[in-house]
Structure 1
Amino acid sequence: MERWHPGVEVLRAATLRDLPPALIITAEVDPLRDDAEAYATRLWNDGVSVALTRHPGVFHGFLSEVALFPQAKYAIDEICLHLREFAGR
């Protein structure tokens, strides 16, 4: 018997349509990039509002390197904007 949990393996869930709007940020060099982008596509296909941004030239975890990568500041600004919009401000 195969076991899986839809909260962990969301791409296997029957539908994602009831999820809130999502912001998916990926890095060009990231072993999780393809899965994150597939998740964004799945959200979109299920009618969920989703924004996807891939940041070129950076790796997984780049958000913690604001001093080294300008992409980190842009991503943080994008996250703040998304949260403001989600909160209705």
Structure 2
Amino acid sequence: DDSAIRLNRWFARHSDFVLGSHATKSGPFGDTYTCLPRQGVDLEQALSEAISLLPEAIYDGEPEVIDRDADDSIDCVDDLRPDAIA
């Protein structure tokens, strides 16, 4: 459908966190997603209200220390380039 808008699934499922109206605008590579401000809505207040809906004590803003010597199974990366597949 030409009128469909592609957006992040999380925002599609949690519309309370979208601080405007979904829309498209013309860009250098065709139409692109944008979020238009709602008339008469104070963005600072709307952002504060959306933040208050988030669960507390999940992220403290501090990065976790990375143990570079840890033996992780994530060390190997599959080479998925088309020219690498035999």
Asked whether the two chains share a fold, i.e. TM above 0.5, the reply is: no
| Higher RCO (Cα < 8 Å, 6 or more apart) | 1
Which has the larger share of helix? 1
Report the TM-score, using the length of structure 1 for normalisation.
0.25
Larger Rg over CA atoms:
2
Q: What is the TM-score normalised by the length of structure 2?
A: 0.25
